[in-house]
Amino acid sequence: MNKKDTLELLEKIKSGQMSPEDVLARLCTEPFEDLGYAKPDHHRELRQGIPEIIYGAGKTPEQIVGIGSAMLDKGQRLILITRLSPEVASAVSKNLCLNYHSIARIGVIGETPAPDGIGKIVIATGGTSDIPVAEEAAITAETLGNSVVRLYDVGVAGLHRLLSKIGDITDAQVVISIAGMEGALTSVIGGLVDCPVIGVPTSVGYGASFNGLSALLSMLNSCASGVSVVNIDNGFGAGYLASMINHRRGY
């Protein structure tokens, strides 16, 4: 609730339209619904400009249906459910009209909008095994109204694969660079472009990759400017942030 809204409320006291008690009640009214096990946030679209996200991991199909239904009832038209296993997706889709992306493990309720960002988001992966994380980012970004270019399996051990795509990369508004193991892809891309690069370390690898720690540290230490990092395997977070950057505009 912003200053303008508050001012309008207060004006209503002055004009006698509302009592002080009622205004106070409104000020304390929950802008979310309390389902007991969760508090879906119906004003979020307004406050943050984007659809509500349901983090599916660790929720039962019943809880997801409950939260999703409450959102739809309030008029939400686009819902993203992340970390959704095929089994839970299948159970949820009995009650809600769900478009399930199995590699990304994302369910979408509602229609993906036409891209309206400034430019394109490039999503690059070091290897084939990083694709599920990349798809989580890609589906997220597309659902949020972005045009996405996928460049998969362009890891630095075969640098020409990356360099042959140099045109796509330098055209990007944002690059999401996804890699496990040594995570060097992010530094190399960071040195080639002049747009923000979001590094997503993945848990792909074995031994001294320590479930993504190696790639995480590598990306955090990138010498290239313009690089920042999200959590290991957090494709959603990267896609969401990339969309934000791709929709920045002055006032």
Residue ranges of alpha helices (H) inside 203-234 are: 213-220
Binding segment (CB under 8 A) for a copy of itself, from list 2-10, 71-79, 84-92, 93-101:
2-10
Q: How far is the CB of 68 from a copy of itself (least distance, A)?
A: 13
Residues from 76 through 105 that contact a copy of itself (CB under 8 A) = none
Tokens 């095929």, residue located: 86
Determine the Cα–Cα distance for residues 7 and 41; give it in Å rounded to an integer. Answer: 23
Tokens of 236: 């959603």
Of residues 98 and 133, the one with the C-beta less far from a copy of itself: 133
Contact between 210 and a copy of itself per CB under 8 A: yes
* Piece of the chain touching a copy of itself by CB under 8 A; list 85-93, 94-102, 106-114, 167-175: 167-175
Binding residues among 30-49 for a copy of itself as defined by CB under 8 A: 30-32, 36-39, 41, 44, 47-49
Residue 119's Cβ-count burial label (10 Å; 0-12, 13-18, 19+) is: middle
Interface pick for a copy of itself out of 155, 169, 172, 177 (rule CB under 8 A): 155
Q: Are 154 and 124 in contact (CB under 8 A)?
A: yes
* CB-nearer residue toward a copy of itself: 109 or 215: 215
Using DSSP's 3-state secondary structure scheme, residue 26 falls into: helix
Asked whether position 114 contacts a copy of itself by CB under 8 A, the answer is no
**Residue 214 contacts a copy of itself per CB under 8 A:** yes
The CA-atom distances, in angstroms, between 73 and each of 82, 97, 209 are 20, 14, 45
**Within 215-234, which residues bind a copy of itself (CB under 8 A)?**
215-234
Q: Whose Cβ is closer to a copy of itself: residue 111's or residue 158's? A: 158
Name residue 149's beta-bridge partners: 122
